Amino acid sequence: MANVSDYYHTESSEENLPLFSSGQTAKETRAAAHEAAKPKHSKRLDQAEAILFDAGPQGCIRHRLGDLMGIPLASVCSIALKLLDAGIAFEVGKRPSPHGKSAAVLVHRDHLHGGASK
């Protein structure tokens, strides 16, 4: 008959983790996940900025931005907020959205005032 301690010990494991680590393992996992997500988010910001620049002075709404990036609207909203906070994009009016409501038009800063660069 197998000993109870045999069920909890694996020979392939080089280290024995404590049963209660006071959340240290979870903290390390969260930190690693956060670091892994940073480059992806930066690429999305760069992609959104490029799309807005290519849209020219007419700009685009968040729905269109999401369609072009291939991501859901909820993800676009946080990206748009970061672009607005950084002064890369500006809201310059409203346009009808695919859902019938009017949506804010985002324009790249280089296309404000008829396309004149700032």
Calculate mean pLDDT across residues 60-80.
Answer: 94
Cβ–Cβ under 8 Å, residues 56 and 89: no
Calculate mean pLDDT across residues 66-73.
Answer: 94
CATH classification of 41-118, choosing from 3.40.50.970, 3.40.50.720, 1.10.10.10, 3.30.930.10? 1.10.10.10
Tell me the residue ranges of DSSP E strands in the chain: 60-61, 89-96, 102-108
- Predicted pLDDT at 23: 73
Domain boundaries, the chain: 41-118
CA 78 to chain centre: 7
- Whether residue 17 has pLDDT greater than 80: no
- Whether residue 95 has pLDDT greater than 90: yes
Q: What's the Cα-to-Cα distance from 81 to each of 77, 84, 109, rounded to whole Å? A: 6, 5, 14
What is the rounded average pLDDT for all residues in the chain? 83
Does the global pTM surpass 0.85? no
